[in-house]
Amino acid sequence: MTIYVKEAIREEPIQTIETILSEMDGVERALVDLTDGEVKIKYNENLVSEEQIKHRIVQHGLHIQ
């Protein structure tokens, strides 16, 4: 899945995103594009849902566009 996170153009929010996603069961990989805040997430749909991933990001004060 691909989402855009408003704050994902700076180093600190990117580290936050990578950390919280790597801690989630079922998230295999997250790649962040610094230029536009694009976050590509590879995950196992049997272990975690798209909504759970989005909710976790928003819980940490980040904004999905």
Q: What's the angle, vertex CA 35, arms to CA 53 and CA 20, rounded to 5?
A: 25
Q: 19-63 pLDDT, tens per residue?
A: 999 999 999 999 999 899 999 999 999 999 999 999 999 999 999
Terminal alpha carbon distance of the chain: 14
Q: Is residue 64 part of a domain?
A: no
Model-level pTM? 0.90
CATH code (residue 14): 3.30.70.100
Question: What is the number of domains present in the chain?
Answer: 1
Residue 57 tokens read as 């990001």
Q: Is residue 65 part of a domain?
A: no
Residue that has been written with the tokens 């819980």 in this structure: 59
